[in-house]
A and B are shown apart, each in its own frame.
Chain A
């Protein structure tokens, strides 16, 4: 039986000396130095991670060069699927990221701006390596296309850019369907509302995408522990659950999460 996946994610920036380093958000604002990306990848691989997500948050040309070297170093160490996101805007960016050793690339803003990029990437490299990432935000007005009932209120989910600071007017569910039709192989669903709360994944959001799009869905944002993973797997039918700080700050290990899931009859790779 296909198992549900547990995926640690690292945000990588350059430190003061220009070396790649993992930073993790604490209390929504501050970024705390968390470790060396290659060391962390190795540790999570040994801990039973099903995949590994690496987000480049440098957003600079020099940063990008260093990041690709780091992706290669991770790929040489870790024999599990590696998804790389951040700053991927063109087919050439996709190609160089895959050549560096990524198995999949995660694309967000660039695909919203130019949806043809999804087709180009899927045609050139295969759908399996094109992951479309969305940063969703709840909106309680009449502008959306797909509505869910949340705590007695009707809301829709808007695609945002710039870390949730700017709306785009695009409905997440509708965009996810379009991205899948254009050849996205997987959807990476982040929630601006849930991000950093540790109150659990945005279940209505994740369920809306899972129910309406047949492409595998990685749920992200809000994980505070194994119970939240259980909820997103059983109530929203997500295919994978992503978490960062609970692993980075040793609140829970990947093994503890998977054991909890297995005890509650969620199929996982132990």
Chain B
């Protein structure tokens, strides 16, 4: 908790669209982004992504259901990412950035295709750890990226049973130790598609710092 509180601000740094595909509590993510200086639009209309300066893909629940519910957003999310628009996936939203997930296999849904913006697969903890991994755990920053500036060694709040395994090791921005050092923050090659396995909107000052890093990244782009 050594990070300083984000400075209160009235100025809008960036306009961020939060994708509402029908799951979960978006209130905290929205308030956290607003506190970080974003003007937030929560939308269930895929067309709203067309002129977004930043996109947040939140999410809780299962991979197969998430992909199905987010289906109408798929083409525009991919287009925005390819255009260089900052896209930030949170928790399941991060897992959806990858190519596939064991979770859909385990749920008997066969191969469910992710967004494939960060090539790789989501896998289940298999070391006999208590699952879900629930609670506060430490971030070890592995690679420089604006999103993870100032959060090395800080704690974030996790709730998940699966984690991302990107094909390219360079996609791993931070790791966390839960019996295995798993990727807790990932990004694509270009750096504009990023995600956290933990919930920044639930991770106190560290989480608000990450949201602010994202909003500033959107503003500087």
Contact = CB atoms under 8 A, between A and B. Distances in A.
A102 B25 CA distance: 7
B202 A79 contact: yes
The listed residue with most A CB atoms (<10 A of its CB), out of B133, B135, B137, B199, is B135
The listed residue with most B CB atoms (<10 A of its CB), out of A5, A50, A80, A98, is A80
B153 to A, nearest CB: 11
A216 B132 contact: yes
A2 B136 CA distance: 6
A79 B28 contact: yes
Given A3-B136, A50-B135, A126-B60, A79 B207 contact: yes
B134 A3 contact: no
Report the interface size class on chain A: 20 to 34
A185 interface: yes
Report the interface size class on chain B: 20 to 34
Given A50-B136, A75-B27, A79-B208, A269 B1 contact: yes
A214 B177 contact: no
B31 interface: yes
A185 B159 CA distance: 9
B135 A3 contact: yes
A51 B11 CA distance: 30
A80 B134 contact: no
Contact of A125 (B24, B177, B201, B208): B24
Contacts of B202: 79-81, 103
Contacts of A126: 23-24, 60-62
Contacts of B204: 45, 79-80
B95 interface: no
A102 B28 CA distance: 9
B64 interface: no
A99 B23 CA distance: 10
A259 to B, nearest CB: 13
Contacts of B199: 81
Contacts of A50: 135-136
Interface in A79-117: 79-81, 98-103
B130 A239 contact: yes
Given A79-B202, A101-B27, A269-B155, A128 B62 contact: no
A48 B132 CA distance: 23
A76 B26 CA distance: 11
Interface string B190-221: 00000000010111110110000000000000
A101 B134 contact: no
Given A3-B155, A216-B130, A101 B137 contact: no
A128 B28 contact: no
Contacts of A1: 137-138, 177-178
B7 to A, nearest CB: 15
B31 A240 contact: no
A45 B24 CA distance: 22
Nearest to B156: A269
Given A75-B28, A126-B62, A3 B137 contact: yes
Interface string B159-176: 110000000000000000
A52 to B, nearest CB: 11
Given A2-B136, A5-B135, A125-B61, A270 B1 contact: yes
Contact of A269 (B130, B131, B132, B136): B136
Interface string A119-144: 00000011111000000000000000
A253 interface: no
B60 A128 contact: yes
14 contacts: A2-B137, A50-B135, A75-B25, A75-B31, A79-B28, A79-B31, A79-B202, A80-B203, A98-B24, A185-B134, A239-B134, A240-B135, A269-B1, A269-B136
Given A72-B27, A76-B31, 12 more contacts: A1-B138, A98-B25, A101-B25, A103-B28, A126-B61, A126-B62, A128-B134, A185-B132, A239-B134, A269-B1, A269-B155, A270-B1
